Amino acid sequence: MNISIIGAGYVGLVTGACLADSGNDVTCLDNDPNKVARLRNGDVPIYEPGLSELIKNNTRAGRLRFIDDPAKAVSNADCVFICVGTPQREDGSANLDYVRDCCLTMGPHLPKDAIVVVKSTVPVGTNRKVAAWLKEAAGRDVPTASNPEFLKEGAAIDDFTKPDRIVVGADSEDVIDVLRELYRPFLRTEHPFLAMDTESAEMTKYVANCMLATKISFINEMANLSELVGADINEVRRGIGFDARIGFQFLFPGVGYGGSCFPKDVRALASLAEAYGMEPRILRSVDAVNDAQKETLFRKVHSYFDGKLEGKTIGVWGLSFKPKTDDIREAPALVFVNQILAAGGMIRVNDPVAEENVRAIYEDRIVYCPDRYEAADGADALAILTEWNEFRTPDLDYLKRKLKNAVVFDGRNLYDPKTMAKAGFQYYGVGLRSSP
């Protein structure tokens, strides 16, 4: 098929590269000429394992190209995927301006039988608006569908090529059949293709993310309570995780979730509920618990130093909101860094890929270190904010020699408290007995 992708951001690039790799001819449109030029030269502006190689291979093969001309982008398309951003407004609702603009821009240039597929995360009812905007621009009815994405940053290629399920919402069986054929190469392992109405498809995306966010906030709240009562959240987690009704996924206590999806989607769904006159008690609580959890590690550091952080240096391992990405949007690490700096402390940081994004924010207010041990060198304490694999098995003897004080505040519970104590460290995790 001839596929057009509108928006060369995270979702658009992954979708375009994977569809090209399965044999389709894919054109990616972006309104930033500099980004288009970079992508044509194989310079991928985001970090996602495997994505750069996939883009380079399919660009060389002629199946993937990047342009900034809307008319050329859609003129031969069988399917057009809308993958533009839906940023959060001040009230928490989703901003659909980019979705509307791309509909009005491409509408006059769409081929007669082209299908427009909304892959952006949008509130329930948006696909109906998209159909109206396209009709306004094209002067006719344009077939549309909702096809929400379920991509995890750091594992997006696998998620796209080996999906748990494909969700498609459309009123037309013909549209559903076209998308079923498009996704057929990715469903050979009998994972389901779920066809439904557009409102249910739109709702599915939000509910999935909000359910996962709820699990994270729940286990974090239980971790905080475990500290107070003298329990160990790791033991508690094992005690409940083997219950098949609960499971272990997303039950890892820490310093809260971040990124571009969970925070925005929880607030957007809560805002949607309020627009319909419903009080979203659980969703608002999930968001509030997560915001408070991001301050957990700072409170521990602040308490350890009796509130006297001025002139103290804290080494920080991990800046991205999760491993295998350079995404720092709503990252707990940034909350921690801001609080340490506000208290008069100094920061030495190491992250495998997120340094460039962080440097754009803090410039020379913090020290950037190419090596994890250098970030700990001379520090009064070490704080771990992201669970990168390279942080999991440090040389503890060497780390101890590097630190001014053998104190570790672990926001991801990477280490065994007994091992750390035996190595001579004061070790503070989340929900552990060793924590203050």
Q: Can you give the three-state secondary structure of 301-321, one letter per residue?
A: HHHHCCCCCCCCEEEEECCCC
In this structure, the answer to whether residues 159 and 12 fall within a common structural domain is yes
Whether 181 is covered by a domain: the verdict is: yes
Q: What is the DSSP-derived secondary structure letter of residue 366?
A: S
Residue 250 main-chain phi, psi, to 5 deg: 65, 20
CATH of the domain at 259: 1.10.1040.10
29: domain CATH number is 3.40.50.720
Residue 316 near residue 383, CB atoms below 8 Å: yes
Q: Are residues 259 and 181 located together in one domain of the fold?
A: no
Q: 223 in a domain, yes or no?
A: yes
Which pLDDT belongs to residue 434? 58
State whether 224 and 103 are in the same domain: no
What is residue 365's predicted lDDT score, i.e. its pLDDT? 97
Query: Are 10 and 57 in the same domain?
Result: yes
Tokens of 328: 């720092």
| Lookup result for tokens 């190419």 | 370
- DSSP character for 322? S
pLDDT, tens only, 35-70: 999 999 999 999 999 999 999 999 999 999 999 999
Beta carbons within 10 angstroms of residue 206's beta carbon: 24
What is the C-alpha to C-alpha distance for residues 255 and 69, in angstroms, rounded to an integer?
Answer: 43
Give residue for tokens 């066809």: 195
The backbone region for 360, taken as left when phi is positive above 0, alpha when psi lies in -120 to 50, beta otherwise, is alpha
Whether residue 154 is found in the same domain as residue 267: no
10 Å Cβ neighbour count for 331?
Answer: 28
Q: What are phi and psi of 152, to 5 degrees?
A: -90, 125
Query: Which amino acids are annotated catalytic?
Result: 261
Tell me if residue 145 falls in helix, strand or coil: strand
How many separate domains does the chain show? Answer: 3
- Per DSSP, helices labelled H in 194-232 are 198-229
Q: Which residue has the tokens 């982008």?
A: 73
108: containing domain: 2-196
* Spatial separation of the C-alpha atoms in residues 215 and 200, rounded to whole Å: 22
CA distance 112 to 90: 38
Edge-first strand listing for the sheet containing 381-384: 367-368, 346-350, 313-317, 381-384, 407-410, 426-428
- Strand, coil or helix: what is 6? strand
Whether 146 and 18 map to the same domain: the answer is yes
pLDDT below 50 — which residues of the chain?
A: 435-436
What does the pLDDT read at residue 88? 87
Where are the extended beta strands (E) located within 151-257?
Answer: 166-169, 193-196
Considering the domain boundaries, does residue 398 fall inside one? yes
Tell me if 412 is assigned to some domain: yes
Domain end, chosen from 292, 313, 341, is at 292
The whole-angstrom separation of Cα 304 and Cα 302 is 6
H helices then E strands: how many in the chain?
18, 14
Query: What residues contact 232, with CB distance under 8 A and at least 6 apart?
Result: 226, 431, 432, 433
Same domain, 341 and 226: no
Domain boundary among 292, 316, 350: 292
Do 236 and 315 fall into the same domain?
no
Tokens of 206: 């939000």
pLDDT of residue 92: 85
| Residue at 434 is within a domain | no
391 and 283 in one domain?
Answer: no
Same domain, residue pair 104 and 57? yes
Instruction: Kindly report the number of other CB atoms within 10 A of residue 149's CB atom.
Output: 21
In a domain, 435, yes or no: no
DSSP annotation of 7: -
Specify the pLDDT at position 91: 87
**What's the rounded Cα separation, in Å, for the pair 185 and 162?**
10
Whether residue 125 sits in one domain with residue 19: yes
Domain-located, residue 433: no
Domain endpoint, select from 142, 176, 196: 196
DSSP state of 32: -
In a domain, 116, yes or no: yes
375-407 as b/e: b if 16+ CB within 10 A:
bbbebbbbbbbbbbeebeebebeebbebbeebb
pLDDT score, position 188: 86
Kindly state whether residues 62 and 27 are assigned to the same domain: yes
Residue with tokens 């020379």: 364
- At what angle are helices 262-275 and 198-229 packed, to 10 degrees? 110
CB-based contacts of 293, cutoff 8 Å, min separation 6: 217, 220, 224, 254, 255, 256, 332
Could you tell me which of 265, 16, 2, 5 has the C-alpha nearest to residue 117? 5
